[in-house]
Chains A and B, each alone.
Chain A
């Protein structure tokens, strides 16, 4: 039972640090998402265009400077765990934004595309372009449940990062990595992940 409580706590803590960037030109859809994301207790930032999203990610400008901009943003702790973007927007479309993100240092961040139009060719194009998921508007609570794998993926990534970081933090002179520390973290992570998957499947 204690392991379960710990994993719930871990999940909550993780989701409190989970940062979603929402890109949508519709004020109503932004408000709807704000309410839907409130239930996931994660932090959300809202912008109303692809250009503003790129600016936020430090990707605006010519290629050379934007790479270093976005990398330094990430090093300085600007963390984005998930990007949710509308497809149809004036100026840059959600698909264009997706391609820009996938061609940048933010390429590992899952991108979810939303659209009010159910066009199979559009959906295929977005998924093939690297989108994690394609959601139909208007969004509902059940759609947010579909995004649980994104939360989980980030959780696993964070656990992996933490175990690597703790190895790096340890004495640099030591050439052999201590297996015990790594095993413990891996063990807890696996158990926690399994429990989370179990709870999510209920």
Chain B
């Protein structure tokens, strides 16, 4: 049966995301909030997150271009980014956010730049995987 196949595929995809340390318990919490009255809740929240986080990435990128880095501003932006990521259970991305903030607090510009590049990579990778996940869930 197609439905059974896609359900199993979905479960396997989700397990893989957890095994790779990309998602945490919060994602399960979101799934538990999905029901008949809110049938697409998880996808809606994730979509909102990517809209929100893309905006924040642009702002951080702009801020990192300044000659003298405003570490307070960067920390505030990253705090928002971290909160947004945390709300969907993006475990690895959240860890990168913490690293970035440590560099901010240490006033380490190079560290900030490096960890931001890594963060963008993780963010994009998870986004792709979640898009694939939701595509299967719609079958």
A interface vs B, CB < 8 Å? 26-29, 31-32, 35-36, 38, 88, 90, 116, 137-138, 140-141
Contacts and interface: CB of A to CB of B under 8 A. Distances in A.
Contact of A137 (B41, B44, B48, B87): B87
A32 B38 CA distance: 12
A27 B84 CA distance: 9
18 contacts: A26-B83, A26-B87, A27-B48, A28-B45, A28-B48, A28-B49, A28-B87, A28-B88, A29-B87, A32-B87, A35-B33, A35-B38, A35-B41, A38-B37, A90-B76, A116-B79, A116-B86, A141-B32
A28 B79 CA distance: 14
A88 B79 contact: yes
Interface string B22-60: 000010010011000110010011001100100000000
Given A31-B45, A31-B48, A26 B80 contact: yes
Interface residues of B, number: 21
Given A38-B37, A138-B26, A29 B48 contact: no
B91 interface: no
Interface of B: 26, 29, 32-33, 37-38, 41, 44-45, 48-49, 52, 76, 79-80, 82-84, 86-88
A interface, over-half SS: helix
Given A28-B52, A36-B33, A137 B83 contact: yes
Q: Which among B44, B52, B76, B84 has the greatest number of chain A C-beta atoms within 10 A?
A: B84
Contacts of B80: 26
B41 to A, nearest CB: 6
B interface, over-half SS: helix
A141 B29 CA distance: 8
A32 B45 CA distance: 8
A28 B33 contact: no
Nearest to A32: B87
Contacts of B41: 35
Contacts of A116: 79, 82-83, 86
Q: Which among A28, A32, A137 has the greatest number of chain B C-beta atoms within 10 A?
A: A28
Contacts of A27: 48, 52
Given A29-B87, A35-B38, A137-B86, 17 more contacts: A26-B52, A27-B52, A28-B83, A28-B84, A28-B88, A29-B83, A31-B44, A36-B33, A38-B37, A38-B38, A90-B76, A116-B79, A116-B82, A116-B83, A138-B26, A138-B29, A141-B29
A116 B49 CA distance: 16
A137 B86 CA distance: 8
A85 to B, nearest CB: 14
Contacts of A88: 79
B43 to A, nearest CB: 12
A37 to B, nearest CB: 11
Contacts of B52: 26-28
Contacts of A137: 83, 86-87
Contacts of B84: 26, 28
